[in-house]
Structure 1
Amino acid sequence: MKILSSSQIKSCDIATTESGVSSLNLMERAAAKCVEWIEMNFKTTNRFLIFCGTGNNGGDGLATARMLYEKGFDVEVYIDRANLNFKADAEINFRKIKKISGIEIKDFSDFSKTIKEKTVLIDALFGYGLNRKLSGKVKNLVETLNQTTLPKVSIDIPTGLFADKVIEKDSVVFKADFTLTFQFYKRSFLHPETGRFCGKTEVLDIDLDSKFIEDAKTDYFVIDNSIIRKIYKPREDFSNKGTFGKSILVGGSYGKIGAVLMSSLSALRTGSGLTFTMAPDCGNLILQSQIPEAMFISSGKNYICKIEIQDKAIYGIGPGLGKEKQTQKALLEFLKSYKNPVVLDADALNILAENQNLNLIPKHSVITPHPLEFERLFGKTENSFDRIELAKEKAKDSQIFIVLKDHHTAIITPDKKVYYNITGNSGMAKGGSGDVLTGIITSLISQKYEIKEACIFSVWLHGKAGDFAAEEFSRESMLPTDLINKIGEVFKSLN
């Protein structure tokens, strides 16, 4: 799914109206989709308080209020009575509301925090076109709304957020439990500084102009099911273990064997034909007993001393590797000699950062830093939006793929495209989850997935398995090994 900028979304709306759909009908369409979702998800709720601005977002809210009332719900509409300068379509919907005696229209100042239960607050104050901090009455209202414990829904975008950029640290933003957005994700939904205000995002299809969307140019995408369906390759019947590649997971040190164990196991679970674990001898017994399907390659006593080069293999290096001097020397010598793409994670990245040897990373390799590792590699940025832009430049300069791990992990390609992942959950915020991802990426590349597609599929698969694990065990108690064991369920769902 493409992510369009606020100016592109506005142009898309215009293109849709120019194709024969009036702007008022487009507003009705958006409101109808909101009402459909609200009915499905608030079945025991009978009262809605809808807070409306004077623009198109307010018009969506007014139309939603009318439709909810027509379906038998109790509805109150809150506006700024001192400012009734509505835009044209919003004015039409306001007049319709005024004719309905059953809908009470109140001023923002009339809102009281002492509200009955089974009430939902709906934010339709400002849409994606906002370009300044909230102030005055709206700011005070949003601060008051945020203090309530009632369920909160934003239409299009939480009031106070910008679509394409970070907010100032002292900004006031409506804290939604659900955001009902139209046709596209906004980039701000996918970054930690801003996405935390959105709750769960629901993308509602309001049938905007398909040709405009197809032709629109963007560097930003959301990984959705349609992308995964195009990437996924079901296994052919007439094949053998050699068909599905050779994965070599390099890592582990005394006390950190579990990391490379999880990487090796996830590579196997993802379909690697031949899987080797290159680790120090102190991990031999653990690895051979826990994953007998993976072959062991000795490399030192308590830490990696040498990384042996094998033909026709994909290397995943870093989980539990440690930063012993001999290990650092082994990694740097390997990268000086090995020119094929590799997957680098964890201590492999930290070693490169400490030695300032980023030029040793072979072209088309994959690196998987979390934000702090990224900072060690490439420098500090002010916020996650700037971090993505820096990653785009570094991916292009070095011709590598950067899998930037976060709540919504982003894959940045050498041609400066960004793919945000929306599977996964906070239960995966445990040591070991990244090691699992390293094994998955290594496995899929070894199975001859194109590297870009392997990165996209891996991150989606990793998150989806995490969602299945959280569903069974809860976010609090799920383990990275539970995630590995759910990989098979994800493949079943694809088949």
Structure 2
Amino acid sequence: MKILSSAQIKQCDFVTIEKGTSSIDLMERAAKACTDWIETNFKTNKEFSIFCGNGNNGGDGFAIARMLYEKGFDVEIFIDENNSKFSDDSKINFDRAKQINGIGIKYFSEFEDNRGSVIIDALFGYGLNRDLSDDFKNLIEKLNQIQAPKISIDIPTGLFADKIIDVNSMVFKADFTLTFQFYKRSFLHSETGKFCGKIIVLNIDLDKDFIDEVETDYFVIDEKLIKEIYKPREEFSHKGTYGKSILVGGSYGKIGAILMSTLSALRTGSGLTFIIAPEIGNVILQSQVPEAMFINSGENHINNIEIQEKAVYGIGPGLGKEKETQKALLEFLENHTNPVVLDADALNILAENRELNLIPKNSVITPHPLEFERLFGKTENSFERLELAKQKAEELQIFIILKDHHTAVVMPNRKVFYNITGNSGMAKGGSGDVLTGILTSLISQKDDIEKACVFGVWLHGKAGDFAAEKFSKESMLPTDLIDEIGQIFKYLSR
């Protein structure tokens, strides 16, 4: 799914209207989509307090109020007493709502906390490009303090669609955001996405030709894209058909990390799987994962990484940073030109030695925010971090997987794919090791590294969602992700 800027969304609206849909009908379409969703998901709630601005977002709110009332709900509308000038379409829907005796229309200052009422924010839409006035800040602060279900229409008031907000900004904190046709980038970054609650993307039939043709660098990884990438295994095939994966890592006390990477590589379909690890891990690895072949390197830590042709290496989980290990990694990268997957201590070694140019072209690195900072320098926020990642991915011609709540796959061509699977239950040591194994396995099976990265982060997050449903976010383990990989493939096959 493409992510469009606020300017592009405005143009998409314009083209849709230009091709024969009136602006008021488009507003009616958006309001109906919201009302249908609200009716389905809030059947037991009978009262709604809808806060409407003077622009088209407020017009959506007025139309939603009318439609909810017609479905039997009790509705009150709240408007700004200091500004009575509405946009043209908003004025039409305000007048329609005003003609219905059963809908109460009051000023913001008249609102009283009604704990039985659902609060709907229709104050400002995606076009907001300035800070809120003090009056609106005070209103949002008051609404945020109320313990009631909260829904934002299009985007929570106070957020911008495409950029960061000031750390002290006042933003409506929604439980659900009903947005139209597209994700906004601000939904997908930690500083701003926390205000959105659950994102519901509603199709309002904006012009398909425009959407197909418009250029963007930003995308959401959705199931439509995944189903285009996923290919079931061929019946007439053999182990050599599905690549050779070599997982490199482990050190005294950290054998579990490379074990999880190896297990996840096998579960993801690796045809031939090897482990390069120190002798200290031999017994545990051979007993826990007999399907993988063990290659000894050192006693308590790795001191050599042998090069095998036609193999994809995943290096880093539990690797440690002993001097011999650092030397082994740097020598390997100096002599190996094929793409590799680098994670954890492999990234920390490169950061300490300032040897980023040793990373082979088309390789994949998977830093969390602190590892990214060690590699490329400090940034002020996740928006800046992503821009720096785009620059470095292009400069080094590598794929950067920025791990976060919504992990971003940054391509060498500067395109960005945000992942929307996964959950906070995955915020445990070991989850990244599972991702390393998944990516190594997928890249060894496919020539297209871009598709392997996109599919890999989606698969990892989806396994996390299945695990959370089975065990809860609190109790799920990284090893549970490995066990759920098979369920994801069964899900895709269906």
Q: Could you state the TM-score of these two structures normalised by the residue count of structure 1? A: 0.99
User: Partners in 2 of 1:285 and 1:106 — Cα distance?
Assistant: 73
What is the alpha-carbon distance in structure 2 between the residues aligned to residue 170 and residue 442 of structure 1?
42
1:265: which partner in 2? 263
The unaligned stretches of length 5 or more in structure 2 are none
Q: How does 1:364-383 map to 2 (within 5 A)?
A: 364-383=362-381
Residue 249 of structure 1: aligned partner: 247
In 2: Cα distance, 1:349 partner to 1:35 partner:
49
Could you list the per-position Cα deviations for residues 383-412 of structure 1 after superposition, in whole angstroms to 9, with x for gaps in the alignment?
111111111110001000000000000000
Aligned match of 2:67: 67
Residue 449 (structure 1) shift: 4.3
Distance 2:308 2:297 in 1: 14
Give the SS at the match of 2:85.
Answer: coil
Distance in 2 (alpha carbons) for counterparts of 1:286 and 1:39: 55
- Could you tell me which of 159, 169, 185 is aligned with 1:161? 159
Q: State the Cα distance separating 1:29 from its structure 2 match.
A: 0.2
Write the distance in 2 (CA, Å) between the matches of 1:44 and 1:471.
25
Partner in structure 1 of residue 110 of structure 2: 110
Q: What SS does the corresponding residue of 1:486 show, helix, strand or coil? A: helix
* 1:402 alignment partner, SS class: strand
**How do 1:316-465 and structure 2 match up within 5 A?**
316-465=314-463
Gapped regions of structure 1 (runs ≥ 5): none
Output the CA distance in 2 between the equivalents of 1:294 and 1:58.
Answer: 60
Provide the C-alpha distance between the structure 2 equivalents of 1:19 and 1:407, rounded to a whole number of angstroms: 39
Q: Which moved more, 1:359-368 or 1:224-233?
A: 224-233
Q: Is the 8 A contact 2:160 2:186 kept in 1?
A: yes
> Who is 2:226 aligned against?
228
Tell me how far apart the structure 1 counterparts of residues 98 and 148 of structure 2 sit (CA, whole Å). 26
State the partner residue of 1:81: 81
Instruction: Compute the displacement of 1:81 (Å).
Output: 2.3
2:274 — aligned with what? 276
Query: Structure 1: which amino acid aligns with 2:23?
Result: S
In structure 2, C-alpha distance between the alignment counterparts of 1:49 and 1:195, rounded to whole Å: 24
Aligned partners of 1:149 and 1:241: how far apart in 2?
57
Instruction: Specify the SS of the correspondent of 2:120.
Output: strand
2:443, 2:50 → 1: CA distance?
50
Q: Distance in 2 between matches of 1:460 and 1:219?
A: 19
- Percentage of pairs with the same residue: 73
Cα deviations by residue, 1:322-380 (Å, 9 ceiling, x for unpaired): 00000000000000000000000000000000000000000000000001100100011
- Consecutive aligned runs of 4 or more in structure 1 exceeding 6 Å deviation: none
Write the distance in 2 (CA, Å) between the matches of 1:284 and 1:404.
Answer: 32
**Distance in 1 between residues matched to 2:149 and 2:106, nearest whole Å:** 20
Per-residue Cα deviation, 1:40-79 (whole angstroms, up to 9, x for no partner): 1112111111000000000000000000000000000000
Q: Structure 2 counterpart of 1:116, which letter?
A: R
Counterpart residue identity of residue 64, structure 1: I
User: 1:137: how far off?
Assistant: 1.8
- 8 Å CA contact 2:115, 2:147 repeated in 1: no
Which residue is equivalent to 1:238?
236
Does the 8 Å contact 2:6/2:161 carry over to 1?
Answer: yes
Three-state SS of the structure 1 residue aligned to 2:118 is: strand
Give the stretch that moved more between structures: 223-232 or 453-462: 223-232
The offset of 1:82, in angstroms, is: 2.5
Correspondence for 1:308: 306
The equivalent of 1:55 in structure 2 is 55
- Is 1:150 the equivalent of 2:148? yes
Shift of 1:261: 0.3
CA distance in 1, matches of 2:199, 2:447: 30
Structure 2 Cα separation of the partners of residues 226 and 72 of structure 1: 36
**Corresponding residue SS for 1:278:** strand
Residue 47 of structure 1 aligns with an amino acid whose one-letter code is E
Say if 2:115 and 2:148, in contact at 8 Å, map to a contact too.
no
SS in 2 for 1:203: strand
The separation in 1 between residues aligned to 2:170 and 2:461, in whole angstroms, is 31
RMSD across aligned C-alpha pairs, in angstroms?
A: 0.6
Q: Which residue number corresponds to residue 491 of structure 2?
A: 493
Q: Which residue pairs with 1:91 in the alignment?
A: 91
Instruction: Give, in whole Å, the separation in 2 of the partners of 1:234 and 1:375.
Output: 38
Partners of 2:242 and 2:54 lie apart in 1 by 59
What is the identity, as a one-letter code, of the residue corresponding to 1:124? A
Q: Secondary structure at the match of 2:489?
A: helix
Contact 2:50 2:78 in 1 (8 A): yes
Partners of 2:264 and 2:482 within 8 A in 1: yes
- Who is 1:206 aligned against? 204
Contact 2:278 2:297 in 1 (8 A): yes
Structure 1 CA distance for aligned equivalents of residues 265 and 44 of structure 2 = 45
Count of residues in correspondence between the two structures: 493
The equivalences for 1:278-293 within 5 A come to: 278-293=276-291
Distance change (3 Å), C-alpha of 1:257 and 1:229: same
Q: 1:116: Cα distance to partner? A: 3.4
Q: Which amino acid aligns with 1:277?
A: I
- Tell me how far apart the structure 2 counterparts of residues 209 and 16 of structure 1 sit (CA, whole Å): 5
Q: The residue matched to 2:44 in structure 1 has which SS?
A: coil
1:137 to 103, 112, 135: 135
**Displacement after TM superposition at 1:105 (Å):** 0.4
Q: What are the Cα deviations for residues 124-174 of structure 1, in whole angstroms up to 9, with x where unaligned?
A: 000000011112221111000000110100000000000000000110000
Q: Distance in 2 between matches of 1:463 and 1:40?
A: 27
In 2: Cα distance, 1:40 partner to 1:487 partner: 32
CA distance in 1, matches of 2:451, 2:385: 22
Name the structure 1 match of 2:42: 42
